[in-house]
Structure 1
Amino acid sequence: MTRTALYTGSFDPVTNGHLDVLRQACSVADTIVVAIGVHSSKAPIFRAEERAEMLREVCGPELQARGVNLEVVTFSDLAVDAARRQGASLIIRGLRDGTDFDYEIQMASMNAAMAPEVQTVFFPASPPVRPITATLVRQIAAMGGDVSAFVPGLVAERLKAKFTRP
């Protein structure tokens, strides 16, 4: 039996923390669908197409090396609806700290009430990536800081290009 998992987020940009969660999720799924949330109220640094391209380039080889298929989609509705569309029986979530846990357990409970056939699986962030957030990475990059310790090399290059002032 093949298992499909859905991993949602903005991925603006994809970080080493996201990669850490994806690596761990390979232990429970044969296919992982990374679902980029697209919401009109947010103004991302990278367009959804750019984020999808980075995810494929950075995460594709990682998952392929572990025998797991990667798909990348966008969604603008409920995660459980996206999971159903993709045939996913699992929603993958990463946890950095207790604050994440409190929020994510509430979301998991609501999702379970709406879609009992979709189970949420939590993976704790590995210690080296625990403090990384896409928000902090964006702030550091916007101020000209070096984000190479927090994101894959390709992403660091694209951030630098995005924030290089002519």
Structure 2
Amino acid sequence: MKSRNIALYPGTFDPITNGHFDIIERAKNLFDEVIVAVAESKDKTPMFPLEQRIKMVEIAVKDIKGVRVAGFDNLTIDLAHEHDARVLIRGLRAVSDFEYELQLGYLNNSLDENIETVYLMPKLKHAFISSSIVRNLLKFNGKTEHLLPKEVQQIIGSLR
């Protein structure tokens, strides 16, 4: 019996953006299962609580077969072990992301040399989108409809 090829896509997803969604779709084309792992990230002081971020991601990916969502507050590598994931997905938007993401990849590999990190780029039309940009727009009631999955925009709109 062939083992399932499981990838873990960790992040804060505060909130999930169209760029994240694009990476999830791309990852699902490469792996049997993708687990979107939503980090507690208390040190980042997220705009949205963990439960709300998990709900937003679940709603955004509900129609993608083979994608599930998990919240976590431990080391990414430990979560990968819990779910038998052998690959970590990381998104790269620009050169500025590369150094940080490369360091994370090396760190995770130093903790478990059997875990690989795969870097995926979103489509060019999503390359400028980040959760921090969205959060800044939300603080000032700026337009975010073109940056977020429709269902996520609706949830955020209902919270305002």
Give the TM-score normalised by structure 1: 0.90
Match of 1:112 in 2: 109
Match of 1:128 in 2: 125
Q: CA deviation at 1:76?
A: 1.5
Match of 1:19 in 2: 21
1:1-166 alignment, distance < 5 Å: 1=2, 2-61=4-63, 63-64=64-65, 69-162=66-159, 164=160
Q: Secondary structure of the equivalent of 2:51?
A: helix
Give the TM-score normalised by structure 2: 0.93
Q: Secondary structure of the equivalent of 1:41?
A: helix
- The aligned length equals 158
Cα distance in 2 for partners of 1:15, 1:149 equals 9
Q: CA deviation at 1:50?
A: 1.5
Q: CA deviation at 1:77?
A: 1.8
Cα distance in 2 for partners of 1:71, 1:16 equals 17
Runs of 4+ in 1 over 4 A off after TM superposition: none
Cα distance in 2 for partners of 1:141, 1:160 equals 10
Matched AA of 2:22: D
Q: CA deviation at 1:43?
A: 2.6
Superposed CA offset, 1:80-115 (max 9, x none): 111111110100011001111111111111111111
Cα distance in 1 for partners of 2:115, 2:80 equals 8
Contact 2:109 2:115 in 1 (8 A): yes
Q: Secondary structure of the equivalent of 2:62?
A: helix
Query: Percent identity over the alignment?
Result: 30
Q: Secondary structure of the equivalent of 2:54?
A: helix
